[in-house]
Chains A and B, each alone.
Chain A
């Protein structure tokens, strides 16, 4: 159970992303063209429920299944890193029609060529690590 619960969570994630068509390149195009409410509804309702859960966890001081207090880490305050990094990520998201989660789900669907995208994403992560100290944060 120690490890398998993460695999189960991932399986559920993969099924949701498929059945809601979030892994479809067309759905991402549709979102960035404001031609359907679908993706906005998914993200919006997930955030709404997530906010409620986060509020309740803090308010009621709920604990994890290991008995530890559930901690939320505040993100470091900055503008350039989130804005520049965010724009670069958005360019890639709209190009491939996939953010990191769907990349893995698509591989499960048999899209072998997505391995090229994944390898490039690993390279991008690595290159960021190399040049991190030279970039504005």
Chain B
């Protein structure tokens, strides 16, 4: 075993990690490591709380007591999502693999619903700027966003806070919330989205 072989192998590994999408058994544990790191920083992993912090920072506390709290103690979560934006920028510039590998069954289902172009990370009809000028686009963007914000705060957390942090801590309320996430997701995917896409 000579040295150059070792280095070649190593470079190969690094390159493959960038070129290929990551499997679930790599991504899941890495995601847990982020949550565990935050625990050791003395914080609890939960992204939707940033929305409340942002509302409070924008002065919503003057109107409602819900936003009248010491939000400056939660500034760390704003830093975290700034990092997430930067991480997205870095990944899109340097680490992106060419195509998202979606199951052929899903592609077929979506084509039946009229989504022909399944390239990129999201259909351009719904997530390009042209969506702002279509009714279905506005419903998806505005109503979808509203439900995310309203629902997450009502349930006291989103996928990160309930599904990851909450379930890790064996919280029954988090299990109820996650069941709710799936009931809502299944209703939307199978019954409501087909109607919205016809708008």
Contact = CB atoms under 8 A, between A and B. Distances in A.
B167 to A, nearest CB: 5
Contact of A124 (B118, B150, B180): B150
B171 interface: yes
Interface in A79-137: 79, 81-101, 103-114, 116-130, 132, 135
A120 B167 CA distance: 28
Interface string A51-93: 1011001000010111010101111111101111111111111
Contacts of A10: 79-87
A11 B32 contact: no
A34 to B, nearest CB: 9
Q: Taking each of A9, A53, A74, which has the highest tally of chain B beta carbons within 10 Å of its own beta carbon?
A: A9
Contact of A89 (B32, B92, B105, B158): B158
A119 to B, nearest CB: 7
Contact of B152 (A65, A95, A100): A100
Contacts of A121: 51, 145-146, 148-149, 152
A118 B55 CA distance: 12
A26 B127 CA distance: 12
B13 interface: no
B89 A108 contact: yes
A96 B148 contact: yes
B186 A24 contact: no
Contacts of A110: 89, 92
Interface of B: 21-44, 47-48, 50-52, 54-55, 60, 63-64, 66-67, 76-77, 79-92, 95-97, 100-103, 105-107, 109-110, 118, 121-123, 126-129, 131-132, 139-156, 158-160, 162-174, 176-190, 192-193, 196
Interface of A: 3, 5-33, 35-51, 53-54, 57, 62, 64-66, 68, 70, 72-79, 81-101, 103-114, 116-130, 132, 135
Given A13-B83, A16-B30, A21-B21, 17 more contacts: A9-B41, A15-B91, A20-B26, A41-B23, A51-B168, A64-B41, A64-B42, A77-B173, A84-B155, A92-B147, A93-B148, A99-B158, A101-B81, A109-B91, A117-B144, A130-B63, A130-B64
9 contacts: A25-B126, A26-B110, A33-B105, A33-B190, A65-B42, A83-B177, A85-B155, A92-B144, A114-B127
Q: Which 3 A-B pairs have the closest CB atoms?
A: A10-B83, A86-B180, A14-B87
